[in-house]
Amino acid sequence: MRDIRGTILDMIEAIERAQRLSVGLNEAKFFGDERTQWAIYSQILILGEAANRLDRTFQTSHPEIPWSNVIGMRHRLVHGYDNVDWGRVWTTLNDDLPPLLEHLKTFLQEGGSYGT
């Protein structure tokens, strides 16, 4: 099992990759680009899977991160792969991932550790 910092880095990389994949896209272009939709979908899955691997005690000690939302989005996408709400994916990409990325980076910059 990866250490906490490694898992947080996985989460950061997934968000940054999703952001790179969406550079220059507006909502209309996103809805018209199936390849990009599924690429971003995969990064949200990685993000949620990594979050789910973190110990619940660690998650509880960092309430500034909406763990249940991150993990829940992963579950909704995996189990509802045949009926993806691309509008929700777009909103997640643009509204939810940027502040999450900042929280995760702050954790690492402050030398975050278990129970910090």
Query: What tens digit of pLDDT does each residue of 59-88 get?
Result: 999 999 999 999 999 999 999 999 999 999
Residue 86: exposure state from Cβ atoms within 10 A (0-12, 13-18, ≥19)? middle
DSSP 92: I
**For 7-20, what is each residue's pLDDT tens digit?**
999 999 999 999 99
- Which residue out of 2, 53, 62, 74 is catalytically annotated? 74
pLDDT at position 58, please? 92
Domain limits, the chain: 4-108
* Euclidean distance between CA atoms 101 and 18, whole angstroms: 11
Given the residues 56, 79, 88, 103, the one annotated as active site: 79
Structure tokens at 92: 């997640």
What pTM, to 2 d.p., does this model score? 0.91
- Is 5 catalytic? The answer is no
For residue 32, report the phi and psi dihedrals to the nearest 5 degrees: -95, 0
1: closest CA among 59, 53, 62, 73? 53
φ, ψ for residue 9, nearest 5 deg:
-60, -40
Whether 62 sits among the annotated catalytic residues: the reply is no
Q: Is the pLDDT of residue 2 over 70?
A: no
